[in-house]
Amino acid sequence: MLGENIKAIRKSIGLSQEELAIKLNVVRQTISKWEKGLSVPDSDMLISISEVFETSVSTLLGETIIESKVDDVKVISEKLEVINLQLAQRKATRSKTFHWLLILLFMVIAAIFTVLIVSNSPYLGWDYSDPEIAVVGVVLHGFEWLFMRIAPIALIGVIFGIFLTRKKV
């Protein structure tokens, strides 16, 4: 019974025979002999074992110890519940971040659109005889032309994305 108790407690606290032997200043084979019932520790060693296990000597000598299973169904389900909660929080954070990025994109597109409308294409009145001004004017015209065609489609997509990522009550 003593050997079984030593083995059960050792395993329940996650110690190997080698680790227990180091803590008690004995060789691993001594622990193995105790657990198999081939020998018994003396009274001083029983006290040392009880101190390492943080249990009473009477528990070591008489009370039957039921080996606890570290990975039983309840523990696994609790771990899975924590993991699922963490994944849900991560998904909610990602969704919220994406939602605010879409709102920011909407504001940027709307601001550029407004600036282009208010400025009324000032580059059209420039003197294009200077090559540098001509290049800048063509780049601005190309940007405005492309933006005015893509911005409405992008705004519709962004509004749709904002609607889909909003927090549902």
pLDDT tens digits for the chain (169 residues)?
778 888 888 898 888 989 989 998 999 999 998 888 888 888 788 888 888 888 888 777 775 545 555 556 677 777 778 888 888 898 889 989 999 999 999 999 999 989 988 988 888 888 889 999 999 999 999 999 999 999 999 999 999 999 988 877 5
> Domain limits of the chain?
2-61, 73-165
Q: So what's the pLDDT on residue 34?
A: 85
What predicted TM-score, i.e. pTM, was given to this entire model?
0.49
In DSSP notation, 72-115 reads -HHHHHHHHHHHHHHHHHHHHHHHHHHHHHHHHHHHHHHHHHHH
Q: So what's the pLDDT on residue 69?
A: 53
Could you give the angle at the alpha carbon of 48 between the alpha carbons of 46 and 51, nearest 5°? 110
For the domain spanning 2-61, the CATH number is 1.10.260.40
